[in-house]
Amino acid sequence: MNVYKKLIDARLRLQAKPMKKSGHNKFAGYQYFELGDFLPEIQKIFNEVGLVDTISFTADMAEMNIYDVEDGSFVTFTSPMGSAALKGCHEVQNIGACETYQRRYLYVTAMAIVEHDALEATTGATEPVKKVEAPRPPAAAPKEPEAPKNIVGESGYHQIVITPPTAEHDQVWLNDCRDAVHLHLDLCVKEEDVNTIYRKNKVLFDSVKQMDPVFFKSMMAKFTETQKKLAKKD
């Protein structure tokens, strides 16, 4: 049995082994084999069939030789060297990263390991475009009555008009809601006014509560404070 026959035997044995892909490419969305996923099994199989491998690197090429330990015949696999520029790493660490990747690719080639088609998965793929938000117009100020005595019974006055939020958690929008509510409450002359403001704007308050429960609670404290103040006047 020469090196080619033993290599085929080794490939078939490896393919019969259950192997799990632990690598994950988040950008392209696929799993892949890391070196540690298959190297222990390969070395065990090589020992069983009588093969041994050696890997060497030059500045331009990575080379793997697989030898038949009985007759010395061998087969060679090569791969052009690449480069790495990992952030925060020294040059020798970048070299080590390249060599680790090249070892993985050499074993994948030599042992006919089926991998995901990374080129097809990333062709045409682009980074998600970050949404640039247009400047938001200032919130419309609540319409003020001619006099506080006209608040109750004035159709539509208690309705607070606020520009919709532009983000899932828009702090500016929350602050605008709070300021508008405080202005309306400061103009109340009786407890009934406070209740009317809450009823007419319940949808708005529900949105505030869903976005930021703590902020909602602090805003509702103004209602309680205003009611107590008006109750003393009555």
Domain CATH for 82 = 3.30.390
Average pLDDT rounded to a whole number, residues 56-60: 92
Domain contains 157 = yes
pLDDT at res. 130: 65
Mean pLDDT of the chain: 80
For residues 181 and 158, what is the distance between their CA atoms, to the nearest angstrom?
Answer: 10
As a whole-number percent, the residues of the chain with pLDDT over 90 amount to 26
Residue with the bigger pLDDT between 125 and 46: it is 46
pLDDT (tens digit per residue) in 12-57: 999 998 888 877 777 666 777 888 889 999 999 999 999 999 999 9
Say if residue 141's pLDDT is above 90.
no
Contacts 24+ apart (CB under 8 A), 66-70: 66/3, 66/7, 66/110, 67/3, 68/1, 68/2, 68/3, 68/6, 70/1
Domain contains 217 = yes
Size of the chain in residues: 234
Say if residue 128's pLDDT is above 70.
no
Residue with the bigger pLDDT between 61 and 33: it is 61
Q: 171 in helix, strand or coil?
A: helix
Domain contains 162 = yes
pLDDT (tens digit per residue) in 78-124: 999 877 666 656 677 778 878 888 999 899 999 989 876 555 555 55
Q: Which domain holds residue 191?
A: 148-233
pLDDT at res. 124: 54
Domain contains 41 = yes
Are 105 and 197 found together in one domain?
no
Average pLDDT rounded to a whole number, residues 187-194: 84
pLDDT at res. 68: 95
What residue type is 63 in one-letter code?
E
Domain contains 141 = no
Q: Does residue 177 contact residue 160 with C-beta atoms inside 8 Å? A: yes
For the chain, the domain total comes to 2
Q: Which residue, of 87, 122, 157, is where some domain finishes?
A: 122
Domain contains 131 = no
pLDDT (tens digit per residue) in 69-83: 999 999 999 999 877
pLDDT (tens digit per residue) in 197-209: 888 888 888 988 8
